[in-house]
Structure 1
Amino acid sequence: MKIDILTLFPEMFSLFNESIIGRAKEKGLFDINPVNIRDFSKDKHRKVDDYPYGGGSGLVMSVQPIRDALKEIKKANGGPVIFLGPKGKTFDQNTARRLAKEDQLIFLCGHYEGIDERLYEDIDEEISLGDFILTGGEMAAIPIIDSILRLREGVLGRDESSVEESFSENLLEYPQYTRPEVYEGEKVPEILLSGHHENIRQWRRYQMLMTTKEKRPDLYAKHQLSKDDLKILKKFFKDQEK
């Protein structure tokens, strides 16, 4: 996967050289190329913004440097142009899955009061991280790109490791435990020590369903209960009545 990022702060994306993502990058599973928008400014001071017509507070990112940067990037990257902005649809796991299928992506990180409206002609999709304000689009781009990359084959090292994670089916992940078996009087659930794989699977599924229903009822409402889910819920409800 090839990802170009139009940004005023290219150095912020050095964190993709670290940890699991960094190792995947070293293997050549993806390429991230931060592009400094200022490099395309025709202003002698490398200016990339100006005051808005009609008055108002703040500055607006100018058309010229961004459009020229996009023209240059598109010579080698034919992927969709994604703007990180407040008017976009809120990012979620389904969007991550969709974008992970692309082989090329271009991200535009906004700043100040936003971008000149004429730049929307160059943008294929606008995405928001949520209903809150950040200091710049880089802060939104980093988690979004991370969530996309980890869905690419080989990035996590074990393809199955992302199957039962939170949000995979509009469900939160089940509780996890590790050694020691008992710590300060708190014990690991007996069923996880039983060695009975089917019972463990059912317990974990039940925990996913109940945890989501309690903590994220909005997600639970979106989840379609399967026949297996109904069977598991019935089983554990009966066990609790005993």
Structure 2
Amino acid sequence: MMNFHIISAFPGVFENFLNESILKRAKDAGAFYYFLHDLREYANDKHKTVDDYAFGGGPGMILKPEPIFFAVEYIISHYKVNNPRIILTSATGRLLDQQYVNDVAANPDETLIIICGHYKGVDERVRKYLATEEISIGTYVLTGGELPALILVDSMVRLLPGVLGDLDSAMSDSYQSDVLDSAYFTRPQNFRGMAVPDVLLSGHHEKIKHWRQESSLQNTNRQKIK
């Protein structure tokens, strides 16, 4: 079973998403489990302070190192975790891609501790001395690392054994190869004058395969032009 320990100052963000659709079925089937850790519970002052001003001045607040270190140390000790991946979500991290997701999901017994950044950033000592990996989901900035954490969980869980009814479906997705996935159509056959291509209704498997290959190339080239 793959285990995710998510450390966040806003853990309420996660429950609804992780308990719907494929993720809920995967969790109920024992493919993965998640643990939410409220960063404020690891603060060492009566006000449960998790952020402070940056040394040297400047706008924005920085997540303090102590609560994050305490949270990770508690997880490793309490849950008896050996060699976990400790992932910091950060705009300055490695850009998440399908190869990274595939590599992690290839070990279904992996334990991941995901530290959700927030505010202006995270104390540099977390990145330098605690996190084993630093992941960004794109060249833009969000209010916090909660959405990136959900993306990490979703992208990996769907590749775990037994989660999808047909693993070939996942392995033929966009970004699993050098070309994007093809276009798809479903019922109705004709919607407001927009018809499904005849070849997809022909039952001719070789022609359908060729059409999908051409569609994949068109989608790939269209993205490159952008």
Per the normalisation by structure 2, the TM-score is 0.91
1:26 is matched by which residue type in structure 2? D
Q: Distance in 2 between matches of 1:92 and 1:61?
A: 26
Q: Distance in 2 between matches of 1:185 and 1:134?
A: 40
Corresponding residue to 2:168 among 160, 168, 175 = 160
Do residues 196 (structure 1) and 204 (structure 2) align?
Answer: yes
Give the greater-gyration-radius structure (CA). Answer: 1
Q: CA deviation at 1:71?
A: 0.5
**SS of 1:156's equivalent?**
coil
Q: CA deviation at 1:33?
A: 0.7
Aligned to 1:87: 92
1:173 is matched by which residue type in structure 2? D
Aligned to 2:106: 101
Please, which moves more after superposition, 141-150 or 176-185? 176-185
2:10 is matched by which residue type in structure 1? F
1:143-182 mapped onto 2 (5 Å cutoff):
143-182=151-190
Q: CA deviation at 1:217?
A: 5.2
Q: Distance in 2 between matches of 1:39 and 1:203?
A: 55
**SS of 1:42's equivalent?**
coil
Q: Distance in 2 between matches of 1:182 and 1:116?
A: 56
1:132-143 mapped onto 2 (5 Å cutoff):
132-143=140-151
Aligned length: 218
Change (3 A) 1:27 1:173: same
Do residues 111 (structure 1) and 152 (structure 2) align?
Answer: no
Aligned to 1:9: 10
Sequence identity (%): 39
1:94 is matched by which residue type in structure 2? Q
Corresponding residue to 1:206 among 209, 214, 219 = 214
**SS of 1:154's equivalent?**
coil
Q: Distance in 1 between matches of 2:224 and 2:176?
A: 14
Q: CA deviation at 1:8?
A: 0.8
1:88 is matched by which residue type in structure 2? G
Aligned to 2:72: 70
What do the CA deviations read for 1:6-51 (whole angstroms, capped 9, x no partner)? 1111121111111111111111110011111111111101111111
Q: Distance in 2 between matches of 1:44 and 1:211?
A: 55
Runs of 4+, deviation exceeding 3 Å: none
Q: CA deviation at 1:216?
A: 3.0
Greater RCO (Cα-Cα under 8 Å, separation 6 or more):
2
Q: Distance in 1 between matches of 2:148 and 2:189?
A: 39
Aligned to 2:49: 47
Q: CA deviation at 1:184?
A: 2.4
1:130 is matched by which residue type in structure 2? G
Corresponding residue to 2:138 among 126, 130, 138 = 130
Gaps of 5+ in 2: none
Q: Distance in 1 between matches of 2:225 and 2:153?
A: 27
- Structure having the higher strand fraction is 2
Per the normalisation by structure 1, the TM-score is 0.85
